Every structure is written in C-alpha cells, then in structure tokens.
C-alpha cells in the first residue's frame, strides 16, 4: 500500500481540503496522512474565517511523519502565508519525497482569498521548483504568469511559462473555459490535451483538491503522467456526476461512488 501525505488546510464541511484529500487517497487504495496548515470555518456556501497554523507546528507535523513513515507522494494544497510556504519548502527539500503534486489553491469558490497577497511570489519561488506536477486552474494560472488565461492558446502559453519558472510538469485545468473543460498537460517533452466534459451541476465543491490528490495517488502507484491525468480526470468526472446535494450552496463531489455501489448503498 502506498503512503500519501497531504499538506493543506482543513475544510470543516468535509468537501475540500484535507478531508477531500484523505477521502480521495482512500478511494484509490492508499494510506493517507495529513499536515494541517490552516483551519477554515466553511460550509457549502463559503468560507467565513481562517486560522493559520504556526509554522513551527507545521514543521513538527512534517517531521513527525517523515521520521517514522515512508512517504510515497505529497500533495500540497492551501498554504496561505509566506512563513508557512518557506517552512514547507525547507522540510520537503530536506526529506526529498519522490513525488510532489502542487495544487495552487488561491481563492475559494465563494471568492474568499486563501493566499495572502505577498505569498504568491513565495509559492512560485519556493514550491514550484520542488513540484513534480503543478495543477493551476485558469484564474490561478493568471496570478502566476501575470497575463490573462481564458482560452486554449493562452493555456499553452501559461503552461510554458510555469514550466520555465521551475515546475517539472504543468497541468492547466480548463474548467473555467466557456465551452469545454479541457485540460492541458505540458512537460519537457511537449504538450497534450485531455478532453473534459462540462457537467450541469452546482455541486463541485472540492474538485481541485480531489483531482490533485487523485494525481498524487495514481503517480505513486506507478502510472505514467499522461495515464495518471487520464485516470484522475475520469475519477473526478464520475465524482461530479454523482455529486452530493448537501447543504444550501455548492455541495461536494462523491469521492466513494464506486465503493458505495459495490457495497450496495443508495446514493
């Protein structure tokens, strides 16, 4: 069994963040561990408060895991402050996990800013060079590269720039495109498109967290990057199609739809 570590924020409603990551790891047959960078007060309608964890506590969590348990892959999610980014980069550079998937979490679906204004450059300078794969959506790509990313041509341009900034591989997520949800993977060997379908539902809470965690799991289990992207997109698409209509806002995806079906539970 592969051992996966998520370094991210906690979502009290269970649809995104640490909770979504651990559910995704479990759905892929992996053992999940966590380093919590922030505690958020949120539900399906939005984020109301964030309490960042002291960087010393973040470092202690990382050390506790790596000093005792083999880590086959790391997924990084919400890391909202410069001091937290710096300590994560320092400890991961020391422990050198074989796979790091960086999900550049910046703004919640409700518009709450999850990355401090001065932290974007730290994320680019410190974490991008450590990343096996970075997975920005279009608004996040725009903040990283400094120009509008709203169509396929701009996605290609952005991916090339992000690779030049130090990431080993880049997956630009196209969920914000007008007429498709196609993603663009760019590596040192070139780029390729992955078709995605737009699904008519408001229940998409945690999709970015879920995709990046699925990618970490699939890469840890030995899939080559293009196949990992294909399988991870298929997993997320199914989870969205069977999303849970929970709460008054944007409900979560169904991380365990296949397992529930096998167990005979009704959705």
* Alpha-carbon distances of 8 from 35, 79, 114, rounded to whole Å: 7, 6, 11
Q: Is the pLDDT of residue 143 over 70?
A: yes
Residue 49 and residue 118 in contact, taking contact as beta carbons nearer than 8 Å:
no
The one catalytic residue among 23, 75, 173, 233: 173
Q: Which of 22-36, 39-53, 85-99 has the lowest mean pLDDT?
A: 39-53
pLDDT at 115: 76
46-52 and 31-43 as β-strands: parallel, antiparallel, unpaired? antiparallel
Q: In total, how many domains does the chain have?
A: 1
Q: What is the pTM of this model?
A: 0.95
| Backbone torsions φ then ψ of 242, nearest 5 degrees | -115, 30
Q: Average pLDDT in the 94-99 region? A: 98
Among 6, 207, 210, 253, which one carries the catalytic annotation? Answer: 207
Give the mean pLDDT of the chain. 93
Catalytic annotation on 206? yes
How is residue 180 written in tokens?
């498709």
What's the pLDDT at 263? 79
- Could you report the per-residue pLDDT of 113-138, keeping only the tens digit for each? 777 778 888 999 999 999 999 999 99
- Structural domain span for residue 172: 3-263
Task: Exactly one of 9, 174, 206, 251 is catalytic; name it.
Answer: 206
Choice among 6, 37, 40, 204 that is catalytic: 204
Catalytic residue among 24, 109, 209, 253: 209
Active site residue 209: yes
Would residue 208 show up in a list of annotated catalytic residues for this protein?
yes
CATH of the domain at 165: 3.40.1190.20
pLDDT in tens, 146-199: 999 998 999 999 999 999 999 999 999 987 777 778 899 999 999 999 988 888
Please list the alpha-helical segments (H only) found in 67-206.
82-95, 119-122, 138-145, 152-164
Q: What is the pLDDT of residue 109?
A: 64
Nearest to 128, CA basis, from 83, 153, 159: 159
Handedness of CA 240, 227, 21, 47 (dihedral sign): negative
Q: Which two tokens stand for residue 21?
A: 């990551």
Segment 91-118 shows an average pLDDT of: 84
227 backbone φψ class: left, alpha, beta (φ>0; ψ -120 to 50):
alpha
- Is 204 noted as a catalytic residue in this protein? yes
């Amino acid at each position: 069994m592969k051992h996966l570590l998520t370094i991210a924020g906690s979502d009290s409603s269970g649809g995104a963040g640490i909770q979504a990551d651990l559910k995704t790891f479990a759905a892929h047959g992996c053992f999940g561990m966590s380093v919590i960078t922030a505690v958020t007060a949120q539900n399906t309608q939005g984020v109301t408060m964030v309490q960042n964890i002291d960087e010393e506590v973040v470092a202690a969590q990382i050390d506790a895991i790596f000093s005792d348990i083999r880590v086959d892959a790391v997924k990084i999610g919400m890391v909202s402050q410069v001091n937290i980014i710096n300590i994560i980069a320092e400890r991961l550079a020391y422990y050198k996990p074989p796979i790091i998937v960086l999900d550049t979490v910046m703004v919640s679906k409700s518009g709450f800013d999850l990355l401090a204004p001065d932290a974007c450059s730290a994320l680019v300078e410190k974490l991008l060079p450590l990343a096996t794969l970075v997975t920005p959506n279009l608004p996040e790509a725009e903040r990283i590269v400094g120009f509008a990313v709203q169509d396929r041509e701009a996605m290609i341009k952005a991916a090339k720039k992000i690779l030049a900034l130090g990431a080993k591989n880049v997956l630009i997520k196209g969920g914000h495109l007008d007429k498709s949800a196609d993603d663009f993977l760019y590596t040192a060997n070139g780029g390729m498109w992955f078709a995605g379908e737009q699904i008519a539902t408001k229940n998409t809470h945690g999709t970015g967290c879920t995709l990046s965690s699925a990618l970490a799991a699939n890469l840890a289990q030995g899939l080559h990057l293009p196949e990992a992207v294909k399988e991870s997109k298929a997993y997320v698409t199914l989870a969205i199609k069977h999303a849970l209509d929970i709460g008054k806002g944007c409900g979560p995806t169904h991380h365990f739809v296949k397992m529930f079906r096998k167990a005979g539970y009704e959705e």
